[in-house]
Amino acid sequence: MKVLSLFDGMSCGQIALNRAGKPYDKYFASEIDDKAISVTMDNFPATVQVGDIMTIDLEKLPKIHLLMGGSPCQNLSIGNNAGGGLEGEKSKLFYIYADVFRKVQPVYFLYENVASMKDKDRDIITSVLGVNPIEVCSSLFSAQTRKRYYWTNIPQSPLPVHCEVKFRDILQTDGYTLLSDKAIQYMNRKTKNGVSRWSFGYIHNADKPKSQTLIANIRKGVPYNVCIDGDKFRHLTVAECERLQTVPEGYTKSVNKTAAYEMLGNGWNINTIAHLLSNISITG
């Protein structure tokens, strides 16, 4: 099987293929972020990096059996203020995926994006790719709430009905960093809407059965990966974020903490993707 992975990030697609037990002999990755590429090459040195999606020379590629990718969601996600939908600066890269999809004519494809996009954008993707999306929340496969749409022609098995793993099960009992006084002050400060930042949707509460969705948007001065655990206010560790994404622990060790958090927030939930890939069958 030959695979082309667009917007490959840190190559969660490759981890998922291995977890699903789907061997491949070539994995072509299109990615432009140096740190993400370095994590991929640290873990999968045989990856063939083909660079920017805008300049891939498709003529040079062999027959592709599996095309996968999730294009940037900044303009689609309600958790992001960028707006603009599929026509937005970053999210319009979906159309480049679609262009490659048409030219490559893969045997199988998988396209992923946020489930919080507008119906209008979802319907455009559906009409371009020709299949209806499946909405999956990764809480069925891990300790994290992460709702995503997946468009694929891979035959699908029923989704599990429940996943036992709870948020608290994956938390470390030590080795984490407490929020600084400055960060706590920031969190206590009310926004213009009069609400406390502790009520924001991306704050993780250790007493909830599942964590909130990990996000990639780490902004300077804004406390990241905030977790409330009883009377403790702390950050999630990189290992905890890897566990929430069911990424092997230590996978992002070759980059600094900020880059690791960002990549993990951007990445795929491996157990979810492994399930979606599990009925791939290439013969001959």
Ligand X SMILES: C[S@@+](CC[C@H](N)C(=O)[O-])C[C@H]1O[C@@H](n2cnc3c(N)ncnc32)[C@H](O)[C@@H]1O
Sign of CA dihedral 117, 98, 138, 143: negative
Task: Give every CB contact of residue 84 below 8 A, 6+ residues apart in sequence.
Answer: 75, 91
187, 226 in Cβ contact below 8 A?
Answer: yes
- Which residue, 73 or 236, is less far from ligand X as judged by CB? 73
Distance CA 188, CA 199 (A): 10
101-140 b/e with 16+ CB inside 10 Å = b? beebebbbbbbbbbbebeeebbebbeebbeeebeebbbbb
- Which residue, 72 or 223, is less far from ligand X as judged by CB? 72
Task: Give every CB contact of residue 251 below 8 A, 6+ residues apart in sequence.
Answer: 10, 15, 39, 43, 242
DSSP character for 221?
T
Q: Which residues bind ligand X (CB under 6 A)?
A: 7, 9-13, 30-33, 36, 52-54, 70, 72-73, 93, 266-268
- Which residue, 10 or 277, is less far from ligand X as judged by CB? 10
- Which residue, 53 or 244, is less far from ligand X as judged by CB? 53
In the numeric block, the tokens 């997946």 are attached to 150
- Which residue, 171 or 263, is less far from ligand X as judged by CB? 263
By beta carbon distance, the residue nearest ligand X is: 9
Q: How far is CA 106 from the centre of its chain?
A: 22
- Whole-number minimum distance, CB 112 to ligand X, in Å? 7
- Which residue, 18 or 205, is less far from ligand X as judged by CB? 18
- Whole-number minimum distance, CB 227 to ligand X, in Å? 22
- Whole-number minimum distance, CB 281 to ligand X, in Å? 23
Distance CA 16, CA 214 (A): 18
Structure tokens at 85: 């939908």
- Whole-number minimum distance, CB 253 to ligand X, in Å? 16
- Which residue, 30 or 233, is less far from ligand X as judged by CB? 30
Number of Cβ within 10 Å of residue 61's Cβ equals 17
- Whole-number minimum distance, CB 14 to ligand X, in Å? 8
- Whole-number minimum distance, CB 15 to ligand X, in Å? 8
- Whole-number minimum distance, CB 92 to ligand X, in Å? 11
